[in-house]
Chain A
Amino acid sequence: MTLELSHLSRRFTDFAALDDVSLSIAPGEFLALLGPSGSGKTTLLRILAGLDYPDAGSVHLDGHNFLVAQARERKIGLVFQHYALFRHLTVAENVAFGLRVRKRKLRPSKAAITERVNQLLKRVQLDGYGHRYPTQLSGGQRQRVALARALAVEPDLLLLDEPFGALDAQVRLTLRRWLRELHEDLKLTTIFVTHDQEEALELADRIAVMNRGRIEQVGTPEAIYQQPATPFVCEFIGKVNKLPVTCTDGKLAAGEWVLDSDPWHGRHAHATAYVRPEHLALGVPANQPAWIAHLRHIYLAGSVVHLELYVPAIDQTLEADIAGEDVARLGLQTGVDLRVAPRSAVVFAIDKPGDDATVQDRWMWQAQSTIFA
């Protein structure tokens, strides 16, 4: 059941929705296609569902050409973004639809269909709702009906288009956990499209980050978060401080923060460093390179505290996240000056300052010293 996507391209009249996309999906995997709107993730999903076709490239399922099959022959469960429930059919009839339209030879008996529908409605926690119409359900309930309908045909592959996009925050969180449990039960290969990084990080086994029709990075949520492959992934996933860096005389420098090594041996003059807020160390000892930063604001956000630090040397405001108890331990209050330095950073060499399009090389930098707070 390995799904092999290779070199898929899809052009619409004025832009490339997919540009040479290759991806391999393992059996039972829970994969997220994550990206901003217009990044091509929905086009990719629709191609897998048979609702769109690529201009070039191929999709193979265990070595068989997947694209020659029509949508109805692919054994796919698809949950539409706005659910696309049949509005004139009851919940039970919606779920039974995929079984009832089968050829007589393959169609289960009436009793078997009823049995299966009831079983599925129980599974999605909607037993007793079979006689209602879609308009009589809440958004979360409709979502689960759509899922039950997709599962009824016992698909080989489950596709979800922005599964939680139309729901409010509370319902979204509950449904997310529930979907994860469902996947652990069924072990069904599942691909879902989302623009919400939190959703992707929490749910998926692997994430494919998409941008402008290309896959920027594929990896586990940890890898995506800790070792972003491109500046786009750095900026799209989580919060990040972006710093211009100069590379001269075998040193990398951004203001007072200087590293005594140049991974590129003078091949590049400029770079951009990305530093996550939780990777900024405060109160760095004087023997370590660090910025003198002015603490402008302290935002309490539950267990975490956000700090806004102004660094005059590079004329930039940095964001730092620290644990709530550290505020008192470090004696932090608005207006104090602090020595601040990154604990780790991802540095991309670029041709011109401020130009992300000319990214050359990536360097994952980690502080050697353990003296940081």
Chain B
Amino acid sequence: MTASLTTAASTTAAATSLQKRQPHWPRKIGRALLILVAVSFLAVFLVLPLSVVFVEAFRQGMHAYLSSIKQPEALSAIRLTLLVAVIAVPLNVVFGVAAAWAMARFEFRGKALLGAFIDLPFSISPVISGLVYVLLFGAQGWFGPWLDAHNVKIIFAVPGLVLATIFITLPFVARELIPLMQAQGSDEEEAARVLGAGGWQMFFRVTLPNIRWALLYGVLLSNARAMGEFGAVSVVSGHIRGLTTTMPLEVEMRYNEYDYVGAFAIASLLALLALLTLAIKTLLEWHYGDEIAAHAPGGH
């Protein structure tokens, strides 16, 4: 008797929950339609361009692909790209940590303005980011004549590429760290101070470990942008083959010379870098989401 009652009750409950859960068929179709539209959009809009890079790169086979990557210009472009990133990213890491420490731990006048200035490079055209350095260091620029007299080359040389890349990637680390450090609060650092830690001890033993994943995340994003930047470096590069062409610039030059396989071969390396970046980024978000936290990925 009791058993049958329970069964009856649970059946009714199941029926209600089924009714509740199962949407009516127009809604089901609507949902399927929405998913279909979104998925096909993403496929045509994102997957297809990505595939085209690899297909075009291998159009004339593995051999042509490899030989176009092994050309000395390609190798020097790869070297230069790495060099630029290796200089620009660490500099912006130091800046980002310093700016985040000041902004998240202290109150001072003009803080909002400082935040706006840090964001500035995001809302400036890459071309203008390059242009400003030409105006500063170019032949007709503020410091141009002086540099010329002392035989220092910045524009149409590696320093210009580095400067433009620093400008473009300046906000990434700071933008990642500021909201996180604000959310974490300063209790742990104060505790370290009360326990007798010196300034650097507090920083390396408490602050840095607490922001390490967000820092890595910021580095990852800056690096992707630094290696892939085109507009800003294009303006300051002067396109001297083997000397001032980074990988994206090499892509452009080959493409304009109708060397499509060569262009797509270099492009495929950059696309691999992008995929690697996305993979690591996704892994970081899955595993350390809370410790990266507080960031709106749209703010890049």
**Is the Cβ of B194 less than 8 Å from the Cβ of A72?**
yes
Q: Within the complex, what minimum Cβ distance (angstroms) separates B243 from chain A?
A: 45
- Give the contacts of A55-77 with B (CB-CB under 8 A): 70-74, 76-77
- Interface: A51 (CB within 8 A): yes
Known: A80-B187, A88-B210. A71 touches B194 (CB 8 A): yes
- Give the contacts of A67-101 with B (CB-CB under 8 A): 70-74, 76-78, 80, 82, 84-89, 97-98, 101
**Is the Cβ of B188 less than 8 Å from the Cβ of A71?**
no
For A89, list chain B residues within 8 Å (CB).
209
- Give the contacts of B177-195 with A (CB-CB under 8 A): 187-188, 190-195
By size class, the interface of chain A is 20 to 34
**Is the Cβ of B187 less than 8 Å from the Cβ of A101?**
no
Out of B188, B190, B201, name the residue touching A101 (CB < 8 Å): B201
Interface secondary structure of B, over-half rule = helix
Out of B194, B197, B209, name the residue touching A51 (CB < 8 Å): B194
**Is the Cβ of A87 less than 8 Å from the Cβ of B188?**
yes
Q: Which residue of A lies closest to B187 (CB)?
A: A84
Q: Which residue of B lies closest to A155 (CB)?
A: B194
Q: Within the complex, what minimum Cβ distance (angstroms) separates A100 from chain B?
A: 8
- Interface: B196 (CB within 8 A): yes
For A73, list chain B residues within 8 Å (CB).
196
- Interface: A102 (CB within 8 A): yes
Known: A51-B190, A84-B191. A101 touches B210 (CB 8 A): no
**Is the Cβ of B194 less than 8 Å from the Cβ of A101?**
no
For B192, list chain A residues within 8 Å (CB).
86, 97, 101
**Is the Cβ of B188 less than 8 Å from the Cβ of A98?**
no
**Is the Cβ of B195 less than 8 Å from the Cβ of A153?**
yes
Q: Which residue of B lies closest to A71 (CB)?
A: B193
For B111, list chain A residues within 8 Å (CB).
none
Q: Which residue of B lies closest to A49 (CB)?
A: B194
For B195, list chain A residues within 8 Å (CB).
72, 97-98, 101, 149-150, 152-153
Interface secondary structure of A, over-half rule = loop
- Interface: A50 (CB within 8 A): yes
For B190, list chain A residues within 8 Å (CB).
51, 71, 80, 84
- Give the contacts of A17-59 with B (CB-CB under 8 A): 49-51
For A153, list chain B residues within 8 Å (CB).
195-196
Q: Within the complex, what minimum Cβ distance (angstroms) separates B185 from chain A?
A: 9
For B30, list chain A residues within 8 Å (CB).
none
| Cβ contacts B261-278/A at 8 Å (1 or 0 each) | 000000000000000000
For A98, list chain B residues within 8 Å (CB).
195-196
- Count of chain A to chain B residue pairs whose CB atoms are closer than 8 Å in the complex: 63
- Give the contacts of B192-222 with A (CB-CB under 8 A): 192-198, 201, 205-206, 209-210
Out of B187, B197, B198, B210, name the residue touching A97 (CB < 8 Å): B197
CA distance in complex: A87, B194 (Å): 17
**Is the Cβ of A86 less than 8 Å from the Cβ of B191?**
yes
For B187, list chain A residues within 8 Å (CB).
80, 82, 84
Q: Within the complex, what minimum Cβ distance (angstroms) separates A71 from chain B?
A: 5
Q: Within the complex, what minimum Cβ distance (angstroms) separates A277 from chain B?
A: 40
For A50, list chain B residues within 8 Å (CB).
193-194
For B194, list chain A residues within 8 Å (CB).
49-51, 71-72, 74, 76-78
CA distance in complex: A150, B198 (Å): 17
For A101, list chain B residues within 8 Å (CB).
192, 195-198, 201, 205
For B197, list chain A residues within 8 Å (CB).
72, 97, 101
**Is the Cβ of A102 less than 8 Å from the Cβ of B188?**
no
| Cβ contacts A83-127/B at 8 Å (1 or 0 each) | 011111100000001100110000000000000000000000000
CA distance in complex: A76, B201 (Å): 18
CA distance in complex: A202, B194 (Å): 28
Out of A72, A82, A86, name the residue touching B206 (CB < 8 Å): A86
CA distance in complex: A74, B197 (Å): 12
**Is the Cβ of B193 less than 8 Å from the Cβ of A97?**
no
**Is the Cβ of A88 less than 8 Å from the Cβ of B196?**
no
Q: Within the complex, what minimum Cβ distance (angstroms) separates B279 from chain A?
A: 25
Q: Within the complex, what minimum Cβ distance (angstroms) separates B196 from chain A?
A: 5
Q: Which residue of B lies closest to A93 (CB)?
A: B205
For A74, list chain B residues within 8 Å (CB).
194
- Give the contacts of A199-258 with B (CB-CB under 8 A): none
**Is the Cβ of B198 less than 8 Å from the Cβ of A87?**
no
A-B pairs, 5 with minimum CB distance:
A98-B195, A84-B187, A84-B191, A88-B209, A101-B197
**Listed A/B pairs (27) with beta-carbon separation below 8 Å:** A50-B194, A51-B190, A51-B193, A51-B194, A71-B190, A72-B194, A72-B195, A72-B196, A72-B197, A76-B194, A80-B187, A80-B190, A80-B191, A82-B187, A84-B190, A84-B191, A86-B188, A87-B188, A87-B210, A88-B209, A89-B209, A97-B195, A97-B197, A101-B198, A101-B201, A101-B205, A102-B196
Instruction: Mark A residues whose CB is within 8 Å of B.
Output: 49-51, 70-74, 76-78, 80, 82, 84-89, 97-98, 101-102, 149-150, 152-153
Instruction: Mark B residues whose CB is within 8 Å of A.
Output: 187-188, 190-198, 201, 205-206, 209-210
Apart from the given pairs A71-B194, A98-B196, A149-B195, 10 other A-B contacts in the complex at a CB distance below 8 Å: A50-B193, A74-B194, A85-B188, A86-B188, A86-B205, A87-B210, A101-B195, A101-B201, A149-B191, A153-B196
